[in-house]
Amino acid sequence: MARLFGTDGIRGVFGDDLTTELARSLGSAAVAVLGRDVREAPSFLIGRDTRTSGPFLEEAMVEGILAGGGHVIRAGIVPTPAVAFLTTELGVSCGVVISASHNTPDYNGIKFFGSRGFKLPDLLEEEIEAALLAGDGVTGARGSEITPRSSAPSYADHVVSAAGTRLEGMRLVVDCANGAASGFAPDVLGRLGADVVAINADGAGAAINSGCGALFPEVVAAAVLAHGADAGVAHDGDADRALFSDAAGNVIDGDQVLAASAIAMQRAGTLTGEAVAATVMSNLGFHRAMAEHGIRVISTAVGDRYVLEGMLEHDLALGGEQSGHVIFREHATTGDGLITAVRFLSLAAEKGVTLAEVAAAMRRFPQVLVNVEVVDKERLEHAEMIWAEVRAREARLDGMGRLLVRASGTEPLVRVMVEAETEEVAREHADAIAAVVATELNR
């Protein structure tokens, strides 16, 4: 059996890879593992995004936890980072998010946060998976559901307090991806004084991430132009990402947000270690901008959990991904799209400049990403024909670009990324490598 937990929890098509039976067993297994060597039964806070499969998985997860003797608090529809925040705020043993993040509506997922608000380490996930396979978890003592004080507003208050300044005078478009941001992002930005136009914010789970949100930032960019706005923000389904558009409709990615934030924090004396954590997918332009300002880059594997691990290991205040996951450690324990939005927009508001001027902290090299569907992504590591092609392409770039080939942690894909001085050159190399990947891994 393949490992259940991927880069970001368990994820799959609802009713196929991810069933209510699996969710129920997973709940009981989590109680068994997290309840070891503790006097009191563990407690779980469960939140979800707007997907239509969410309530079914939630009910199954709750039943599994209760059957295992654990206690449950239901947070309802909330962003993923809200679960991380509320887990520590309410003092529960574990946070559970039912979401497939940026994936299409037919997918869903389950991920866990520990009592300190950090995603569970790989080793603990492996223990939960082993307990599930062994059928551990059901006990004679049934747990109970707990009704806490109203919790959702406290997360919104937390986001508002994280802003560097108010956003008075800004006209903003926010794309909520028909997901968990719908009930939070427009309100938070409005409370900070912005004039907010919300799009894709009806919370319709059947349309979550469908042609909108952080995976389609050109949508918010077009809306910015249509509404004559100063900027746009695009979240994904569970609101742990944020991408942006400037007033001219130019998309601003996570690398640009991270670069501008790092430089601003360095000037303010809050960039611990004079360094920032970023994944191997970060743009070459980001690395050059950081070098120009004397800021070290700690490279990590893809996934905000690995960014956080790098931040904790090196005691860093800032880290993030090109995809829009950014972690401001002073304010969050995981990627938080709403906090990223208020922090980045604050940089423009504080200086009285446009978002384009803030984003100009780095020059983005043209980047081409090709996702190759494969039968067996596990064979990539030892596919010598692929790596021979990679080495040949690296030699041809001769230091004037960068390339990366890696297996997706959540889907049957191999991702081929190439950066170069021009998009045409990047495309040529990416397509050549992708062709070899398709041939070698689909035999």
Active-site residue set: 101
Burial of 236 (0-12, 13-18, 19+ CB in 10 A): buried
Per DSSP, the three-state class of 92 is coil
Per DSSP, the three-state class of 248 is coil
Question: Who's near 139: CB < 8 A, 6+ residues apart?
Answer: 31, 67, 68, 69
Nearest of 328, 283, 331, 338 to residue 307 by alpha carbon: 328
Using CA atoms, how far apart are residues 98 and 14, in angstroms rounded to an integer?
11
Instruction: Identify the DSSP state of 146.
Output: -
Q: How is 336-366 classified by DSSP, letter by letter? A: -HHHHHHHHHHHHHHHT--HHHHHTTSPPPP
Using CA atoms, how far apart are residues 168 and 181, in angstroms rounded to an integer?
21
Question: Who's near 51: CB < 8 A, 6+ residues apart?
Answer: 14, 98, 99, 100, 105, 108, 205, 208, 237
- Residue entry with tokens 């969410």: 54
Q: Indicate the residue type of 330.
A: E
Using CA atoms, how far apart are residues 68 and 42, in angstroms rounded to an integer?
10
Nearest of 153, 202, 149 to residue 179 by alpha carbon: 202
Token duo for residue 160: 């508002």
Q: How is 253-265 classified by DSSP, letter by letter? A: -HHHHHHHHHHHH
Angle, in degrees to the nearest 10, between helices 337-351 and 80-89: 100
Question: Who's near 334: CB < 8 A, 6+ residues apart?
Answer: 80, 81, 84, 113, 117, 118, 119, 240, 304, 305, 308, 327
**Contact predicate 365/286, CB 8 Å:** no
Nearest of 71, 67, 65 to residue 128 by alpha carbon: 65
